[in-house]
A and B are shown apart, each in its own frame.
Chain A
Amino acid sequence: MAYVYRFKELALRPKFLIPLTLFTGLLVYAFIYTATININPGRWYYAPPAQPPNPSYPFGTTSMGQDLFLLVPMALRNTIVISFVAAVISVLIAWGIGSTAALSSTVARSALMTLVDIVCVLPGLPLLMVIFYTWRDHLTIPLIGIIMGLIGWAFPARAVYAMVSSLRQRTFIYTSYFSGLAIYKIVIKDFIPFLLRYLMINLVSTMTWAIGNEVTTSIFGAMKMEEVTIGTTIHWAMYYQAILLGVWWWLAIPVVFLVSFVLSLYVLMVEIDRYIFARARVTWG
């Protein structure tokens, strides 16, 4: 009995390779390239204002004289950090609460699930806006992520609850149990492969949720506006009437980068998930 993972098969699929390349490229651009920038790309007028994309400014410049080629990776980096921190925090809470609810007694379960239902219905976005706006002088990029994570765990918690409570009643778990397999071995061999899969899905979906919230709150202006993120870039572009002035690249370039990041992340997840689900089953021999 063994788990058979054929990594080569996964890695050579073009459907996996293309998003992987894109994703890695974006990460390099956002994290490694920004480390080499000597100036603060959020500053004004270090470049000629409102230049359309041209050889010296490949993505053009904003009306405030910021070079988008330097601004966008910085913004992307901050947005990725926010969403990743938010995803980690919210997944931790969701897994704690969801699995506790699934494994505990009826009273504790219904209390926890009522709590989850309530948090699901609470409008997170206006709450986030008020919090961010009130404390914007004290916010840092990771802190924004932490606050988002503290608010957005309810939907993942429901999913975890549903998954764990269905998993513990599956026949193969009972088979292992009645065959005398030790509990920790049941957890490692039977639970973990399923849980890992859902953990990844949870992480990615919460990341896209956090990205959406970051962009939305920033567009409304309820964010630490001097931090460069994709959302604040869009906000300033709209504030300075980029569409009316025809400076479309100011809006379009951040949007294109964000969409390619989200899509490549998502496709990667789907491909890995498909691979794990098909191959990670128990095979004989």
Chain B
Amino acid sequence: MHPVARYILQRGSLALLVVWIGLTVTFVVSRLMPFNAAELLISRLISQGVALTGEEIEAMKKQLLELYGLDKPVVEQYLVFLRNYMVTGEMGPSFAFFPTSVRDVISKALPWSLLLLIMASVVSWFIGNGIGILAALTKRRRISNILENVAIAFQPIPFAVLAISFLIFYALVLKLPIPSGGYMITGSPVEMLLYMSRRAAFPLMILVMFGWFGSFVSMKAVALKMREEDFIIYSFLQGAPTGSIRYMIFRNSILPQFTILVLGLSRVFIGSLLVEYIFNYPGIGYILQGAIANADYNLMLGVLFFATIATAVATFILDLVYPLIDPRIRYPGQG
């Protein structure tokens, strides 16, 4: 088999494994709830004063009990759960956004979140690595050291705290309005993408502003170490032009960085959830907040599941790009 095909197959099966384990975790969490979720949801719905007839309540109760499958043995419950989530996509009604189903609520918000998540991680990765390699190669030591100290000082601070500080600064010192607004239903895909990008620009700015430190610090460290490697010194002594030496340093330092990009996705996810909520960006984070505020377990479990799928798929996409960057995957055993 062609090495690239084998590689893609490998990563694809890993992504599937991730989704399956995420589903199992979701199942376990939903079964271990210290109360009967179906009863609780029904009683909440009635107490909210939603006008329902007796039959409708009974029908919904039946649907929910079937969804949770609480009267069957655990193995069967598990299989039904897998079928509901993977095949039919039936995750029950959302109570925070009643009567929309969980699937619809999430699938509306998911593109927004994915756009933000992927752009934020890729843009901050590019910026961090770009500045990192420049800082490692430059002769202006002082500027690069100052940058490094700033990055090291910001890096350990939790993103939530940075975002809140920025919010205080933005709203109280700069006195600027926080952008809001939501879904655009109509329009061609291009128009919609343009609109979404415009809306994503502000949260993206914040995510990138505090997101590039990690890859900057590690890129600088790796590139500085790479400069001392034998093959670099060898080509320097051979009299290779500076440009090609720099390219060699860059090319070899970028490999470990790429792994960081892939594995860091789930960490960026934390940041983007929070930024979506704080700055009213209509993505998964925003929905999750609504779910929590309204005790909407269906929606919470749905978000958990979709978050798993989203990170698995995004990781898989980035994995597909890997052969373009690492020639060892294309030509194994030759280097």
Name A's B-contacting residues (CB within 8 A): 114, 117-118, 120-127, 129-131, 133-135, 137-138, 155, 158, 204-205, 208-209, 211-213, 215-216, 219-222, 231, 234, 243, 246, 248, 251-252, 255, 258-259, 262-263, 265-266, 270
Contact = CB atoms under 8 A, between A and B. Distances in A.
A221 B190 CA distance: 36
Contacts, number: 136
A4 to B, nearest CB: 26
B171 to A, nearest CB: 5
A6 B136 CA distance: 32
A212 B158 contact: yes
Contact of B273 (A135, A211, A216, A262): A216
Contacts of B303: 126
B157 interface: yes
A219 B163 CA distance: 11
Given A120-B263, A126-B288, A262 B22 contact: no
A256 B269 CA distance: 25
Nearest to B285: A220
CB-based closest 4 A-B pairs:
A212-B158, A123-B307, A266-B156, A215-B160
A222 B17 CA distance: 28
A252 B312 CA distance: 37
B160 A212 contact: yes
B94 interface: no
A162 to B, nearest CB: 10
Contact of B315 (A121, A209, A234): A121
Contacts of B300: 126, 129-130, 133
Size category of the binding interface on chain B: 35 or more
Nearest to B156: A266
A118 B16 CA distance: 10
Interface in B11-67: 14, 17-18, 21-22, 25, 29, 32-34
| Dominant secondary structure at the A interface | helix
B145 interface: no
Contacts of B311: 121-123
B164 A220 contact: no
Given A212-B160, A259-B157, A122 B269 contact: no
Contact of A130 (B29, B161, B164, B165): B29
Given A118-B18, A222-B292, A123 B172 contact: no
Given A248-B172, A262-B158, A122 B25 contact: yes
A205 B300 CA distance: 28
Contacts of B310: 123
A220 B263 contact: no
Contact of A138 (B34, B168, B270): B34
Contacts of A133: 292, 300
Contacts of B164: 219, 234, 251, 255
